[in-house]
Amino acid sequence: MSTTTAAPRPHRRPSPRGRADRPRAIPALPGLRRRAAAAPGPAPERATALLDAVRLRLAEAGAPPTTTEVAAAVRAARPPLGGDDVLDAVRTLQSELVGAGPLDQLLSAPDVTDVLVNGPHQVWVDRGQGLHREPAVGFPDAEAVRHLAHRLAAAAGRRLDDARPWVDARLPDGTRLHAVLPPIAADCTHISLRVCRPRPFTLEELVAAGALPQSGAELMRAILRARLSLLVSGGTGCGKTTLLSALLGLVGRGERIVIAEDSAELRPDHPHVVRLQSRPPNQEGLGELTLRDLVRQALRMRPDRLVVGEVRGVEVLDLLAALNTGHEGGCGTVHANAAADVPVRLEALGSMAGLDRLALHSQLRAALDLVIHLARDQRTGRRRIAEVHTLRGDAAGLAVTVPAVLFGADGAVTRGAGWPQLIGMCAARGVVLDGELR
């Protein structure tokens, strides 16, 4: 009787093309990948199967996706994982169920300001120095991007479907969400996330970051003490909200700040802040609360400082009216290419409210004291205060801005023609500015 001995299987080295060449469908689950040779099928498929099993078990039990419940569901699924790998799997699965999935690791990075998704393998990140592609993070397919957009919209309490294929909202952690579905997005669902810092920048931190010199910080403090009404202007992503939050943190602790915003982003370091947020209409087209509604309600809430997060519509009429009727020290932000363009920009917004040109400019001159303009260096990505302008009327009765202080990219500070006017406005309110601005 002969005995046949099976030849040993040759040892196969892993392909040099490994995980680095393949975008990650799930950021962790290392145990699944390390045991790729021990279990059949590619790692992403096993990770997806585990995610589906956990989701189904939670749905059947009606349990919330807490760490304890997710861990119990993972143990019940009996995946081929060790102790440490189970902990990693629980964290990742919880992120997939209630977080931002593969984007969580980017959103939690302290230097990330924006995360943009243009497709399953096109994730872009801004770390304060412009946009860069992140090839190590991705999604299995376009449907996974769409599912994430739906989940984030639901977390923000907003509707996102074929009938309303866009959403602009704030997530519970403060992150600003914007998502667009096909067919508005030509190829794939697009997701834009703007990270909200857990605490606002202080003026000292802005000085350390090069956003303004120390003398500029002292000027900002004087402007807030003098209760001058101001608008912070600039382009998208130049730091308007960041600066305004820092400035509101300088407001006296005995004052009440009431903020009206479309998406609640301002989080000043102040003990007495009331935040109002607009609401879109429901599926029946009812229940809408506009920014103009919020401004009107804010006026009845005894504000010492009325703040409009971003002036971009007919609410400009109510804001100017408020600043003209005893609500001094109010502020807000507005999109503009330059400080000199702010009156024209507000004129366009006022026309939407039915206000004629001369009436708008008359209200503007009486209501607004300053425009603080920010710029962003396209080469380095550095955001900084570029100009401080005062307002005055021209020969035709229109409001125009006059440079009071110019901050150069090299740190140089120059006083402009509006400097004497700025000194006079502060002095009229008991705040003395130094004759020299270094």
pLDDT in tens, 26-79: 333 433 333 333 333 344 556 666 766 776 676 566 556 667 777 777 777 766
Q: Is the pLDDT of residue 315 over 60?
A: yes
Kindly give the pairing relationship between strand 257-261 and strand 399-407.
unpaired
Question: Which pLDDT score, from 0 to 100, does residue 371 have?
Answer: 96
Least confident range from 36-40, 116-120, 287-291, 395-399: namely 36-40
pLDDT of residue 25: 37
pLDDT band at 236 (very low <50, low <70, confident <90, very high): confident
Q: Is residue 436's pLDDT more than 90?
A: no
CA–CA gap between residue 420 and residue 318 (Å, rounded): 30
What's the average model confidence in pLDDT over 8-19? 44
* pLDDT for 59: 54
Q: Is the pLDDT of residue 433 over 70?
A: yes
Return the exposure string of 25-49: e unless at least 16 CB atoms fall within 10 Å of the residue's CB, then b: bbbbbbbbbebeeeeeeebbebbbe
- What is residue 61's predicted lDDT score, i.e. its pLDDT? 65
Of 174, 169, 172, whose CA–CA distance to 191 is shortest? 169
Q: Which residue has the higher pLDDT, 349 or 411?
A: 349
pLDDT recorded at residue 81:
58
- Is residue 98 exposed (0-12), middle (13-18) or buried (19+ Cβ within 10 Å)? middle
- pTM for the model: 0.73
Please say if the pLDDT value at position 23 is more than 80.
no
24 or 188, which is more confident: 188
Report pLDDT for 161: 85
- % of the chain at pLDDT higher than 70: 79
Is the CB of residue 281 less than 8 Å from the CB of residue 211?
A: no
Name the band, by pLDDT with cuts 50, 70 and 90, for residue 314: confident
pLDDT at position 22 is 37
Whether pLDDT at 299 is above 60: yes
Question: For residue 240, which of 206, 274, 214, 269 has the smallest C-alpha distance?
Answer: 206
84-130 pLDDT per residue, tens: 556 666 666 656 655 677 898 898 888 888 999 999 999 999 987 77
pLDDT score of 89? 66
**Residues 275-294, mean pLDDT to the nearest whole number:** 84
Q: How far apart are CA 369 and CA 389, in angstroms?
A: 9
pLDDT of residue 410: 84
Contacts of 110 (CB under 8 A, 6+ apart): none
| pLDDT for 151 | 83
CA 359 from centroid of its chain's CA atoms = 34
- Could you tell me which residues come within 8 angstroms of residue 239 by beta carbon, excluding any fewer than 6 positions away? 211, 374, 376, 383
The rounded mean pLDDT for the chain is: 81
pLDDT of residue 326: 78
